[in-house]
Amino acid sequence: MKAGVRAADVGCGHGASTIIMAQQYPNSHFSAFDYHRPSIDAATTTAQKAGLADQITFGVAAAQDFPGKDYDLVCFFDCLHDMGDPIGAAKHVLSTLSPDGTWMIVEPFANDRIEDNLNPVGRVYYSASTLICTPASVAQDGAMALGAQAGEAKIREVVTAAGFTRFRRASETPFNLVFEARP
Ligand SMILES: C[S@@+](CC[C@H](N)C(=O)[O-])C[C@H]1O[C@@H](n2cnc3c(N)ncnc32)[C@H](O)[C@@H]1O
């Protein structure tokens, strides 16, 4: 990314992650998508104010059909579990990546078993998920309803069902899991 890549930030919301990456990696270009037009409008304004209009291209598009080919990196920050058809989204990501590209998936931290998530962070995530993430995904076609506490095993299932051949937990914090998927 320091040398310069073509990256996509999908489900970018107000573009916070896109803007941070663009500032950090001035030689890279970012295409950023979300299916929610008001979020893309807000993201576009914020990026313009930050002087990043030439480095980021925003567009209204769903994860299942966003435009572009041969991305070196596709990022999903905290949004795969919100999608009604995460496998459809994963298949589309695979079709847009360069042969040596990487899909980075950042998800809320979760263990695979409910009883292992009944800690302060997990309880907050289950509550938020019940009000926000799960209804958002059920409202979309597919309704897989991963919820904010999907966990590594479920995300692996989604990614491998889509045809990715490599998947690993690349990193984690107390609040997030970071996965790397490769074609
Ligand atoms: C929790 S927010 C995360 C936003 C941003 N990535 C961030 O970390 O600040 C989830 C985002 O996913 C978007 N989203 C949900 N389903 C989507 C879909 N099928 N295609 C594109 N975006 C989607 C929502 O509009 C929302 O902006």
3-state SS of 82-96?
Answer: HCCCHHHHHHHHHHH
**What local confidence, expressed as pLDDT, does residue 89 receive?**
98
Contact in structure between 12 and 18 (CB atoms under 8 Å): yes
pLDDT of residue 137: 94
Q: What is the residue whose two structure tokens read 């490769």?
A: 182
Distance CA 11, CA 35 (A): 7
**Which residues form ligand 1's pocket by a CB distance below 6 Å?**
11-13, 16-17, 34-36, 39, 62-63, 77-79, 82-83, 140
In the predicted model, is pLDDT for residue 143 greater than 80?
A: no
Compute the distance between CA of residue 140 and CA of residue 85 in angstroms, rounded to an integer: 7
Q: What is the pLDDT of residue 107?
A: 98
Distance 12 CA to ligand 1 centre (A): 6
**For ligand 1, atom 21, which residue shows the shortest CA distance?**
62
- Give the confidence band of 141 by pLDDT, cuts at 50, 70, 90: confident
Distance 13 CA to ligand 1 centre (A): 5
- Residue 176 — very low, low, confident or very high, per pLDDT cuts 50/70/90? very high
User: Which pair of tokens denotes residue 60?
Assistant: 């209204």
The answer to whether residue 94 scores a pLDDT higher than 90 is yes
Residue 170: band (very low, low, confident or very high) from pLDDT cuts 50, 70, 90? very high
Residues contacting 87, CB < 8 A, separation 6+: 142, 144, 158, 161, 162
What average pLDDT score do residues 2-31 get? 98
Please tell me the distance between residue 53's alpha carbon and the centre of ligand 1 in angstroms: 21
Question: Quick one: average pLDDT of 15-40?
Answer: 98
Q: Over 80: is that where the pLDDT of 112 sits?
A: yes
- Per DSSP, the residues of 123-167 read HHHHHHIIIIIHHHHHTSTT-----TT-HHHHHHHHHHHTT-SEE
- pLDDT (average), residues 110-139: 95
In this model, does residue 149 exceed pLDDT 80? yes
- Inter-residue contact 167 to 183 (CB < 8 Å): no
Residue from 18, 19, 34, 87 to probe ligand 1 pocket by mutation (most atoms less than 8 Å from CB): 34
Q: What is the pTM of this model?
A: 0.97
